[in-house]
Every structure is written in structure tokens, then in C-alpha cells.
Structure 1
């Protein structure tokens, strides 16, 4: 099959196929913007001078201080995780119709390899369109947002540009990654002239082996602070090994929670099947046990955002406790010195990024829910034809979404909190004690060297240590927001249920 024919067939299809290509391209566009923004932050050149020299051309301290740019770039890359998960959900939209189209191609004489390459090419081309559009949006936005203030300082790093190799790597790397992921998912799929079948059939439920990954992630985070104390002064280890340890531990815990959702779904299905009495709950129990990994696929982006948000809540609690303790120390010393609100204001930006990630994850939830309803519309229509009320089907869809979502969100909140607490167990200020010179006179007497010594005294301040409180309020708001996102997507998805359960679907589906 010629390349031109492959491209034409990859872009062919009905309105559902067009929607799938558009949504996949949109997801790739958002991921491209996140990646290019992170590369732009890393492209800022360190100014000449010592290690504390700042880039004075920026208004935001996250961009001015060299030591903070790595964390800023990492946070921007974390935003790409829910976007990539959304792309994975969009690629599954209209899967039954695409399966029938691929089976028709096999019936017309296409080989299994050609059909697989066709599906891979469709995802790759859609992602390439999105990354090219994302590069265009980035370049245009860079020119539009380049607005120095009266002091010549910039709000964003619009004066720097990543290298050409980095731009090409993002624009071409994301489509290659999407195509490789599609090929990996299709390795257990056989497309025949009679339809599409999966080679691997799971006969037993998933096992809770994901707990090992979660434990490995927690141990990695707990080991960071002792390792920093032992290797103090080794810049190479502190600059590379410890960040990699944090990254690997966070990814291990996140993957463990996502994979563990499959076990949670299967367990919830078994409990519902054993104890539920209503038809809606029993239908949901059958679906959860038949495909427990649907929860892992559906809630992956949302759980990743919740883990990140819970860790950010733990870190905010650390900074707030440190700020309060420093104010108390200054008050005991008789020093009227304010505290630096930089870290707390930075956490506001992190919370905003978490909110954006939850919204993106909610979009992925909606796509997954609608895709599941549309894929099973013929079975739903058959149930309606046999007398099952639509309210029962609506209840089963709600049970299927909420039963694994609630414990999975609670698990994500707990793991995120433990990861944050693993880095900072307590707040310690002036642990060995300190002394402060205080002048108890007017400013004129204190400034005069001849009279200053008569009115000054040395105040000894004892060391202090305080345990960080658990940020229950912020965790509750985060969990409620994630659960509200699930409820809203379920409500919107149920609107498609009435359209997809018409009796005509028995003939046309």
C-alpha cells in the first residue's frame, strides 16, 4: 500500500472519526505548549556573577532566581501528564466504528500489518497537526506577550527561545511517542475480515501488586532529606541525583496509584455483586469485574492531578508553619521584621496549575464516559427493548463511575500527602539557638556610635521545632473538587445515554 493511500485512508471516516482527530490534535497542541513553556524557562541564561546572581529583566522571582527555574519547568511538564492522558482517551473515541472500518479493509484485501500501520498513522498524523499548530500558537503568543513595563522588565521569558533542536524534538517527538503508544496498545489486537478481537483475555482479577510501587515511591521521598544532610557540599549529587530520586519516586507512586485503581475497581465490583440488591448496582458490578482496568484508564489523569495537588498542600502547610514560626521568633527577639511571602505566593500558582490539571482531566473523563456509552449502545438498546427502565441504566453508569472513583481519590490524597510529608517532617528554626542585638532607644541614639552601646542588649532566642499540621481543609477541597468533576462528567454523559438507547440502535448499530 502506497504512503499516499495510507494517509488518505487514515484521514477518512465519519463525523466521529473527524472528532477523534480534532480532539487528539487539540490534546497534542496543549502538550506542545506545556513542553515549549518548560524549555523556554530552562533556556534562560544565568547572568554573570556569583551563584546568587539573578536575572533582573523579569518581574517574577520564579524566573529571576536560577535555582527556582528547574522546579518551575518541572511543574509545567507535570501539566502535560493530564493532557497526554486526555489524548489517550480521545484516541479511543468511536473505536467500534473504526474497528468495523478496519475489518472492511481486511475484507478488501489489506494485510494485518497494513491495518495496524493505518491505525498508528492516524494517531501520528493527528498529533503532528496538533504539535505544528502548538508551535505556531507558541511563536505568535511569544510576540504578542512581549510587553516590557516602564522599568524594562518582562512578565514572561519572551526574550529567550529554545534551541532549534529542542523545538524540533518537541514537535516531532510527541507524534512519534503517540504513534509508538498506539502500536504498543495494538500488539494484542487482531483485525480480521470478521471484526477486531483481543488476544489476551484476563480470567482473574488484578492483584494488589501496585502497592510495591507506592511503597517504593514513599521510601524514595523519605530518603531525600537524610541524603541531603549526608552529602552536603556535593553539588553534583545535589544537582542531579536527588532530583532524579524525587522524580523517580513520584512517578513510581503515581503509576502505583493508577494501576491500583484496577484492583480497586475489581474489588468494588465484587463487593457490589455480593451485597447490592438493586439492578443498577448489579449491572455496574458486572461491568467493573469484566473490565477492571477501565478505571485505571479513565481516572489516570485525575488521580495524577490529585496526587500532585495533595503534595502541594503538604508543602504549603510546611511554608505556612515556617512563616508563622519565624514571626514568633522575631517577636520573642523584639525584632520587628516581616517575613518573605514568596513561597506562599508561589504555592498559589501551583494550586492554579492543579486546578487547570483537574479541569483537563475532567475533559478526559467526559470523553471516556461518552465513548463507553456509545460503544455499548447496542447492548443498552437491547436492555431497553426488554423492559429495563432508563433510570436503571443511568444508575448503573453512575455506580460504575463513582464506586471506584471515591476510594481511588482518597488513596491519591493520602499518597500525595505522604509524599509531601516525606520531604518535610517538621519545621525547625534556629535549632541551636541564636542571639540578636536589640537597641531600646530612639533612632538617633541608636545610630550614634557614642550612645549606641548604652541602650543595646543581647537577646538569646531558644531554638524551636514544630510539627507540620495536616492540611485537612485544603485536602477536603481538593477531594471535593475531584469528586465534583466526576459527578459533572457523569451528569453530562447521561445526556448521551438517552440518545444512545433508542430502539433503532438495534438495527443501525
Structure 2
């Protein structure tokens, strides 16, 4: 099959296929913008001089201080996780119609390898269009937002540009990763002239993702011992060690929690089947045990955002403990309002990630209802009320979501709060000015010495913030489930039994 023919067939199809390509391209564009923004922050050169020298050409303190810029870049890269999850959900939109189209191509003489390359090319081409559009928006935005103030300082790092190799890696790497992921997902799919056959695993999921969660906790816990190891040897720890441990630990935790949702869904289905009452609970139980990995696919982006949010809540609690320690001992954070304000920006980023993840949930729910519309129509035709099917959809959405969200918040909190020691200070003599003297420090004894006792402030568990994250996650699941119920009436029409 020639490349031109492959491209034309990859972009052909119905309006649903067009919507799938457009949404996949939009997701790739958002991921490109987040990646290029992170690379731009990292491209800011460290000023010459001591470690305390800042980049004074920026008005934002997060950009001025060189030690804070890697954290900003890391937060921007984490925004790519829910965006890529949204892309994965969009790639499944209209899957039944695409399967029939691929089967028709097989009937026309195409080989299984050709239709597989066609399905992979569709995702790759859509992602490439999205990354090119994201690059264009990024370049235009840099020029429009380059507005220095009267002192010549900039609100954003529009005076620097990522290296061309890094830009090419993002623009071309994301479509390549999308194409490889599509090929990986299609490894169990066989396209025949009679349809698409998927080989599914019949054994129950194992709780092995718990090992990944323990590994992630160990990686975060190793940060302090590694620093002490370098300190005892009088060596300077490389700047890349801590970001590397944080990145590996965060990704391992996300993979463990998302993969563990399959075991949670299967176990929840078994419990519903054993203790559930009513047809709706039993239908949901069978659906959860038949396809437990649907929860991993559906909640992946949401759980990743909640892990990040819970970690940010633990970090905020530690900053607040540092503020309390400074109040008791007279030392500590030099500018606590700045750090707490930075955490407000992190919370905003988490909110944006949850909103993006909610979009992925909506696409997943719509895809699930439309792909099973013939089965739902058959149930209605045999006498099952639509209200029962609707309640079963709610059961299947909420039952695995509650423990999965609780697991994500717990893991995200423990990643930060577990290895981080409680802030402590004091245990030293402090020389202060005697208020009764005008000339402090003169030979007349204008200073006095006092003993500052040893103080340890244990950070409080941020129950309120964690509860808000849990409520936001459950609200996203509920809203998308309700949106699926709106589509249920049209999807359960008896005429769907005659759909091809």
C-alpha cells in the first residue's frame, strides 16, 4: 500500500471518525504546548556568580530563582499525563464503526498487516497534525506575550527558546509514541472480513501493582539517604539526582495505581455479585468482572491528577509547618507567602488536570454507551427497564471509582509526607538587642542572649484539601455518568437491533 493511499484511507470515514481524529489532534496539541512550555522554562540560563544570584529579567519569582525552575517544568510535564490520557480515550471513540470499516477493507483484499498499519497511521497522523498545530500556537504565543514592562522585565520566559533538537523531539516524538502505543494495543486484535476479533485475558487480575507502589515509596524515601551519603563524603550531589528520583517515583506510582484499578474493579465486581441486591447491581457486577481493565483505561488521567494533587497538599502542609516553626523559633522560611502562593498555582494546575481528565471520562462514557448500544437495545427488547440499565451504569462507574480515588490520594500523600521529616529547629543560643538601649551592640551591654529551645512541628494531615480533591474526582465521575444516561435512551432504541 502506497503512502498516499495509506494517508487517504487513514483520514477517511464518517463524522464520528472525523471527530476522533480532531479530538486526538487537539489532545496532541495540548500536550505539545505543555511540553514546549516546560522546555522553555528549562532553557533559561543560570546567571553567572554565586548560587544566590537570580534571573532578574523576570517579574515572577518562580522564574527568577534557578532552584525553582525545575519544579515549574516538572509541573508542566505532569500536565501532559491527563492530556495523553484524554488522547487515549479519544482514540477509542467510534471504535465499532472503525472496526466495520477495517473489516470491509479486508473483504476488499487488504491484508491483516495493511489494516493494522492503517489503524496505527490514523492515530499517528492525527497526533502529528496536533503537534504541528501546537507548535504554531506556541510560536505565535511567544511573540504575542513578549511584553516587557517599563524596567525591561518579562512576566514569562519569552526571551528564550528551546533547542531545535528538543522541539523536534516533542513535535515528532509524540506522534511516534502514539503510533507505537496504537500498535501495542492492536497486538491482540485480528481483523477478518467478518469483523474484528480481540483476544482477551480470562484470568483475574493480580494485585502485583502494589509492588510498584512500594517501589515508588522507596524511591522517594531514598532522596534523603542519598543526600546524606554525598554529605558524609564531602561531595556535592549532582543536580539531576533528586529530579530523577522524583520522576521515576512519580511515574512508578502512577503506573501502580492505574494498573491496580483493574484488580480493584474485579474485586468490587465480585463483592457486588456476592452481596448486591437488585438487577442493576448484578448487571454492574458482571460488567466489572468481565472487563476489569476498563477502569484502568477510564480513570487513568483522573487518578494521575489526584496523585499529584495529594502530593501537593502534603507539600503545602509541610510549608505551613515551616511557617509555624519560624514563628516559634524566629527562623525558617524567608518568604512563606511566596511558597504558599506557589502552592496555590500548583492547586490551579491540579484543577486544570482534573478538568482535562473529566473530558477524557466523558469521551470514555460516550464511547462505552455507543459501542454497547446493540446489547442495551437487546436487554430493553427482552423486558429490562431502561432505569435498571441506567442504575447499572452508575454502579459500574461509582463502585470502582471510590476505592481507586482513595488509593490515589493515599499514595500521593505518602509519597511526600512519608519520607519527609517533620520540620525542627531551635536548640541554640540567640543574641538579641536589649530594647532598653538605644545603641544596640555597644560596649554598654546593649545585647542579651537567650536560649531557643528545640522545637519540632509535625505537619497536619490536610484532610480538608484531600476531601476537596476526592469530592472533585467523584463529581467528575458522576457528571460523566449522568451524561452517559442522557445518551442511553437513544442508544437503547429497538431500531438499534437492526443497525449494521
TM range (shorter): over 0.9
| Matched residue, 1:241 | 241
Give RMSD over aligned pairs: 1.7
Distance 1:101 1:134 in 2: 30
1:203 paired to 2:194: no
Q: 2:353: which partner in 1?
A: 357
Counterpart of 1:426 in 2: which secondary structure? coil
State the alpha-carbon separation in 1 of the partners of residues 78 and 236 from structure 2: 24
CA-to-aligned-CA distance 1:142-165 (integer Å, 9 cap, x gap): 111111122221111011111111
Tell me the distance in 2 between the aligned counterparts of 1:179 and 1:258. 21
Q: Secondary structure at the match of 1:231?
A: helix
Q: 1:14 to 1:425 in 2, by over 3 A?
A: same
Match of 1:462 in 2: 453
Deviations 1:210-237 (A, max 9, x none): 1111111112212221222221277664
1:57-456 equivalent positions in 2, closer than 5 A? 57-199=57-199, 201-232=200-231, 237-330=237-330, 339-430=335-426, 432-441=427-436, 445-446=438-439, 450=442, 453-456=444-447
Q: Secondary structure at the match of 2:451?
A: strand
What is the SS of the residue equivalent to 2:52? coil
Q: Tell me, yes or no, if the aligned pair for 2:82 and 2:357 is still in contact at 8 Å.
A: yes
Following superposition, the deviation at residue 275 of structure 1 comes to: 1.0
- 2:472 aligns with 481
Distance, in Å, in 2 between the alignment partners of 1:340 and 1:185 is 47
Alpha-carbon distance between aligned partners in 2 of 1:338 and 1:351, rounded to the nearest angstrom: 22
Q: Kindly state the Cα deviation for residue 482 of structure 1 after the two structures are TM-superposed.
A: 0.7
Matches of 1:57 and 1:147, distance apart in 2:
12
The question of whether the paired residues in 2 share the 8 Å contact of 1:434 and 1:463 is answered with: no
Secondary structure, in 3 states, of the residue corresponding to 1:239?
Answer: coil
Q: Structure 1: 5+ residue runs without aligned partners?
A: none
8 Å CA contact 1:120, 1:183 repeated in 2: yes
**Other structure's SS at 1:155 match:** coil
CA distance in 2, matches of 1:387, 1:47: 73
**What is the rounded CA distance, in whole Å, between the counterparts of 1:171 and 1:240 in structure 2?**
25
Q: How far, CA to CA, are the matches of 1:235 and 1:28 in structure 2?
A: 42
- Return the TM-score normalized by structure 2: 0.97
Q: Work out whether residues 324 and 457 of structure 2, in 8 Å CA contact, stay in contact via their aligned partners in 1.
A: no
The answer to whether the Cα contact below 8 Å between 1:89 and 1:367 also exists between their aligned partners in 2 is: yes
Deviation at 1:434?
3.8
What SS is found at the alignment partner of 1:66? coil
Residues 430 and 452, structure 2, Cα contact 8 Å, conserved in 1: yes
Q: In the alignment, is the contact (CA less than 8 A) between 2:206 and 2:263 conserved in 1?
A: yes
**Whole-Å Cα distance in 1 between the matches of residues 274 and 336 of structure 2?**
56
CA distance in 1, matches of 2:48, 2:240: 23
What is the SS of the residue equivalent to 2:423? strand
Cα displacement (A) at 1:99: 0.4
1:106–1:193 contact (8 Å) kept in structure 2 = yes
Partner of 1:498: 489
**Deviation at 1:436?**
2.8
Distance 2:44 2:154 in 1: 13
1:228-271 deviation digits (Å, cap 9, x = unpaired): 22212776644223322222122112111111100000001111
Q: Displacement, 1:474?
A: 0.8
Give runs of aligned pairs for residues 36-51 of structure 1, distance below 5 A. 36-51=36-51
Q: Aligned partners of 1:287, 1:410: CA distance in 2, in Å? A: 22
Asked if structure 1 preserves the Cα contact closer than 8 Å seen for 2:35 and 2:170, the reply is yes
Q: How far has the Cα of 1:69 moved from its partner?
A: 1.0
Q: Are 2:431 and 2:447, in contact at CA under 8 Å, matched by a contact in 1?
A: no
Decide whether the 8 Å contact of 1:38 with 1:76 is kept in 2: yes
Q: Name the counterpart of 2:31.
A: 31
The separation in 2 between residues aligned to 1:413 and 1:206, in whole angstroms, is: 22
CA contact (8 A) 1:231 1:237 kept: yes
Distance of 1:339 and 1:3 partners within structure 2: 59
- Distance in 2 separating the partners of 1:57 and 1:362: 38
How big is the shift at 1:321? Answer: 0.8
Q: What is the SS of the residue equivalent to 2:494? A: coil
- The Cα offsets for residues 331-356 of structure 1, whole Å up to 9 and x where unpaired, read as xx9x9x98532211111111111000
Say whether residues 1:16 and 2:2 are aligned partners: no
User: Which residue in 2 is equivalent to 1:507?
Assistant: 498
CA, structure 1 residues 5+235, in 2 after alignment: closer, same or farther (shift >3 Å)?
Answer: farther
Shift of residue 83 of structure 1? 0.2
For residues 48-94 of structure 1, the C-alpha deviation after alignment (integer angstroms, 9 at most, x for no partner) is: 22222111000111111111111111110000000001000000000
SS in 1 for 2:49: coil
Are 1:327 and 1:338, in contact at CA under 8 Å, matched by a contact in 2? no
Give the stretch that moved more between structures: 225-234 or 400-409.
Answer: 225-234
- In the alignment, the residues of structure 2 paired with residue 453 and residue 373 of structure 1 have an alpha-carbon distance, to the nearest angstrom, of 85
